[in-house]
Amino acid sequence: MSQATSFVRLARLGIILFLAVAVLWTIPAAQEPAAGTQQPVFRSGIDAVSVDVIVTDDDGRPVTDLTAADFEVREAGELQAVTSFRLVETGNGANDPASGREILSLDDERREAARLENRLFVVFLDDYHVRRGNSMRSRQQLAAFLRSLTRNDLVAIATPLSGVGGMTFSRNHNVTSNVVMGFDGRKYDYTPKHPIESRYQNLPVEQQEQMRNSLTITALQSLSEYLGTLREGRKTIIYVSEGMSGAVPSGVRVSGSGQGSAPISRSESARQSSMDFFENTSLLLDLESRVFRSATRNNVSIYTLDPRGLSNFEFGVDENVSSSNDRRILQESSDLLRVIAEQTDGRALVGMNDPAPALRQMVRDSGTYYLLGYTSTRSPRDGRFHEIRVRVNRRDVQVRA
């Protein structure tokens, strides 16, 4: 770790400690209760749990003839009684009169998003972590996919800096596909396009990359929490990204920054690989504590779409990145996309030159599923994850929950 990086982290720690002290300083001291009075004690907890379950046959077709008695739900190994049960199936657009409504206001959006007959998709275009050439190819594929959706599919577009406040859902897929056609990747291009980016433009690219990771993780967390406010049931994020990395390899060609990533010696390369490992571990822990938790609690599934397609190399021949670093970074970034999908009950669309079949499977996943509810007998209020396992009493089916 560089001296500058250590200094920045110490400075951040100092700011956090200062703010913590300031908050404590502003809280008035609790007054002692009067003699003989009893202070009220309020206890609260959320014991009702809803779980969306996808059941398919060996060919990926949804199984729709199950009953509540066919399901077995266990929380932390303890059997739970299913108290609510519903098979959710979206309409085909033509036979659903409500699908003809245009979304013209926030009230319209809330009403249509709450209807389980509609599928909810958010296309998250991670321009920070997609090369420009790859974005140009993938946006064509995404636009074609969006135009194939029905009126029962509500789609919104998001980026790391867009925020949820200005995000709107639409069933006009020509409009959303046109927005996607403007997707322009900026991986390793640090030219500021937003005021917040100008603040750290002169930092080393390693620190700028870590800031980009933080902004992307914050956006995914906020997006998951917002989707959870719209309704129960399944919501889907299509995360278009080449994967995040905890560090920038030496020798990579960057632009828009005064401080590039210069080549280093072989001994320094070995030390950097060790440091990169710890940076990537920290990145994964950050994803787990923020994105995975938020997505799980809000029934949000993330399908990761790697715009690189089937690729054997991460960097071009005009970049001075060693072959070992090239292979390592390609593998690590691909694995990260798989972990994000696995931990949020999505699918990883990695190593695919044509993602269309997998995207169609994603639509089927979101279009037919069971929504189970139960009242937890464990009444967990410890703030921790409690593992939920769902089984189906039928052979030759695949269960995802």
Q: What is the DSSP string of 262-326?
A: ----HHHHHHHHHHHHHHHHHHHHHIIIIIIHHHHHTTEEEEEE-TT-S-S-SS-TTS---HHHH
* Four-residue CA torsion sign, 269, 271, 274, 276: negative
Please list, in sequence order, all residues whose beta carbon lies within 8 angstroms of the beta carbon of residue 68, skipping any fewer than 6 positions away. Answer: 82, 85, 372
pLDDT tens for residues 215-251?
A: 999 999 999 999 999 998 899 999 999 999 877 887 8
Q: What is the pLDDT of residue 60?
A: 82
Of 158, 137, 337, the C-alpha closest to 244 is 337
Please list, in sequence order, all residues whose beta carbon lies within 8 angstroms of the beta carbon of residue 32, skipping any fewer than 6 positions away. Answer: none
- 337 three-class SS: helix
Parallel/antiparallel/unpaired status of strands 153-158 and 119-125: parallel
For the chain, list residues with pLDDT below 70. 1-47, 91-99, 258-278, 379-384
Q: What is the pLDDT of residue 267?
A: 45
Q: What is the pLDDT of residue 33?
A: 45
Kindly report the number of other CB atoms within 10 A of residue 114's CB atom: 13
CB 53 within 8 A of CB 389: no
Q: What is the pTM of this model?
A: 0.78
Of 141, 146, 104, 105, the C-alpha closest to 122 is 146
